Amino acid sequence: MKIKLARLVIIFLLAGVGSFAGATKAHAAPRLNLEPASITVLNNATFELRVAIDVESNQAIGSDAVISYDDDDFDVTGVSNGGFFPNFAWANDPENDRLEIHAGSFQIFSSNTGAGTLAIITLRAKKSSGSATVSFRCGPVSPTSQILSTTGTNILSCGSLNQSTITFDSQTQPTNTPVPTATPLPTATSAPDSGNNINPVCEGLSVNKTSGTTPLTVTFSCTGSDTDDDVNYAEFTFGDGQQLSIEKNIGAKGTISTTHTYTITGSFAASCRVRDNNGSFSSRPGTCQKTTAVSRAGTTTFRPTATPIPPTPQPTIGTQLVALTTITPTPTIPLTSPTPMEEQKEEKAFPWASIGVGAIILTGLLLTWWYMHKKSPPLPY
């Protein structure tokens, strides 16, 4: 009888331990995010959205970001590589309200871990009121957003994706007060336009900061010249939906400066152009464009993407939709020795399970000892 009771106690203890051992582990999930999550833009102004990627400790060889937007609300004017993967391509399909971004590391045994920027999307607002969303397309439909591991497995969970909300403003030009000039602009010597006016030239845009944390105040200096007139105006576009126009006569050649404070995170492409006193504008050449990377205070600034230089030049895919079979980052060369995925991070919790198991074991041992040493009552004569 004592042996049977001891066996029952041991079975009870093993069952208790097994129930605790079957607890499910919680893992962090690889994800894609649109940043900023919300922004207000002016009608007809351009702005940027950052596609951020975080694969945690997993080893990833590529990612597809399929973006849904309403062509009645936005125009996609460009997409640039964020630098997380070296190989990059994109295709826009406005008729189906879809933008496809494809990036990867197509070298054998090459993969990435951690977080960074997958791409920078530049859009132009087409409305003056209301709001709209830009989101990821994910699920059983094709094409779909995904992150590929070294084994070619999609490790992206659709539930970890977010969307960006854009609010439209009715203004078409900013209401900033122009910087006053000490002396009224002379107009007596301005000759009427004979039809042979030479447009001014924007020679360069310089900034005192290319990265920092919010709020980040940057000084912009736009240099312009004109061979037959005076430059008397500069127009700044800061890349976050804000613009500023300054009237100031600087003669045949000079510089007009201003400051702007970024209060949201992202990678912002600023530019400027100048105008002469005949009302003719310059173009915005590459020398008059600068990119500033802004991150949240207390975080590491992500890589600036002003002039990404991939190892092999990639062709620009314009606005024609390219078939996915030609640009998908899924590798066709099998990996002979794929690097195993590292174990995902496990959430730490207070060891209630260990304490419970210890209490059950101790109680069982005490019961077993008591029963084994219990004296049998004397037999009646």
Q: Tell me the pairing of strands 87-93 and 115-125.
A: unpaired
Spatial separation of the C-alpha atoms in residues 105 and 113, rounded to whole Å? 12
- The hierarchical CATH code for the domain 31-171+303-327 is 2.60.40.680
pLDDT above 90 (res 79): yes
Q: What is the pLDDT of residue 165?
A: 95
Q: What value does the mean pLDDT take over residues 99-116?
A: 86
Spatial separation of the C-alpha atoms in residues 46 and 41, rounded to whole Å? 8
For 324, residues 6+ apart whose C-beta sits below 8 A from its C-beta are 100, 102, 142, 143
Spatial separation of the C-alpha atoms in residues 80 and 308, rounded to whole Å? 8
State what percent of residues in the chain have pLDDT above 70. 69
Q: Which residue has the higher pLDDT, 65 or 194?
A: 65
Per-chain mean pLDDT for the chain: 78
Q: What is the pLDDT of residue 88?
A: 92
For residue 64, give the amino acid letter. Answer: D
Spatial separation of the C-alpha atoms in residues 142 and 67, rounded to whole Å? 12
Which of 210, 263, 274 has its CA nearest to residue 237?
274
Spatial separation of the C-alpha atoms in residues 171 and 306, rounded to whole Å? 28
Question: First and final CA of the chain: distance in angstroms?
Answer: 24
Output the six-digit token pair for 301: 């600034």
Spatial separation of the C-alpha atoms in residues 74 and 111, rounded to whole Å? 34
What region does 3 belong to: left with phi over 0, alpha with psi -120 to 50, or beta? Answer: alpha
Ordered by start, the domain boundaries in the chain are: 31-171+303-327, 201-295
**What is the rounded radius of gyration, in angstroms, for the C-alpha atoms of the chain?**
32
For residue 194, give the amino acid letter. Answer: S
Q: What is the pLDDT of residue 373?
A: 73
DSSP state for residue 151 in the 8-state scheme:
T
The superfamily in CATH containing domain 201-295 is Immunoglobulins (2.60.40.10)
- What is the CA 218 to chain-centroid distance, rounded? 22
- Under a CB-based contact definition with an 8 Å cutoff, are residues 272 and 286 in contact? no
pLDDT, tens digit, 9 for 90 and up, residues 208-257:
999 999 999 999 999 999 999 899 999 999 999 899 999 999 999 999 99
State what percent of residues in the chain have pLDDT above 90. 52
pLDDT above 70 (res 327): no
**In this structure, how many other beta carbons lie within 10 angstroms of the beta carbon of residue 225?**
17
Q: What pTM was estimated for this model as a whole? A: 0.42
Residue 209 — φ and ψ, nearest 5°? -145, 140
Q: Tell me the pairing of strands 201-207 and 211-213.
A: unpaired
Spatial separation of the C-alpha atoms in residues 250 and 230, rounded to whole Å? 7
- Under a CB-based contact definition with an 8 Å cutoff, are residues 238 and 268 in contact? yes
The length of the chain in residues reads 381
pLDDT above 90 (res 186): no
What region does 159 belong to: left with phi over 0, alpha with psi -120 to 50, or beta? Answer: alpha
Q: What is the pLDDT of residue 365?
A: 83
Q: Tell me the pairing of strands 163-169 and 38-42.
A: parallel
Which of 254, 238, 246, 247 has its CA nearest to residue 201?
254
pLDDT, tens digit, 9 for 90 and up, residues 344-377:
444 455 667 677 778 888 888 888 877 777 655 5
Helix boundaries (H) for 292-351: 324-327
pLDDT above 90 (res 32): yes
Q: What value does the mean pLDDT take over residues 170-194?
A: 48
Helix boundaries (H) for 124-259: none
Please indicate whether the domains covering 31-171+303-327 and 201-295 agree at the CATH topology level: yes
Q: Which residue has the higher pLDDT, 127 or 17?
A: 127
Give the highest mean pLDDT range of 12-26, 45-59, 168-182.
45-59
Q: How confident is the model at residue 338 (pLDDT cuts 50, 70, 90)?
A: very low
